[in-house]
Amino acid sequence: MNAAHGGVKRGAKIAVIGSGSWGTTFAKVLCDAGSDVTIWARRSEVSDEIQVAKRNSQYLPGVTFRRR
């Protein structure tokens, strides 16, 4: 699917607001599709884990984001 048909362009910069299970899952799908994803988290410890360890073990255990 491409951007002209409602898809997300590979390499697109996208922000996901919320780092709970839904936001983390959505960000993971976008990331796997090649998008440059930023997750906005309310709690600093969740944000730190996502940024440093590339995972959100509290809301989506066992899933890791790819490294850039």
Residue, of 66 and 23, whose pLDDT is higher: 23
Spell out the alpha helix ranges (H) of the chain.
21-32, 44-53
User: Is the predicted pLDDT of residue 2 greater than 90, yes or no?
Assistant: no
- Beta strand pairing status for 13-17 and 36-40? parallel
Q: Are 38 and 15 in contact (CB under 8 A)?
A: yes
Residues in CB range of 63: below 8 A, 6 or more apart: 24, 28, 55, 56
Model confidence at 10, pLDDT cuts 50, 70, 90, reads: confident
Euclidean distance between CA atoms 59 and 68, whole angstroms: 22
At 30-61, the pLDDT tens digits run 999 999 999 999 999 999 999 999 999 999 99
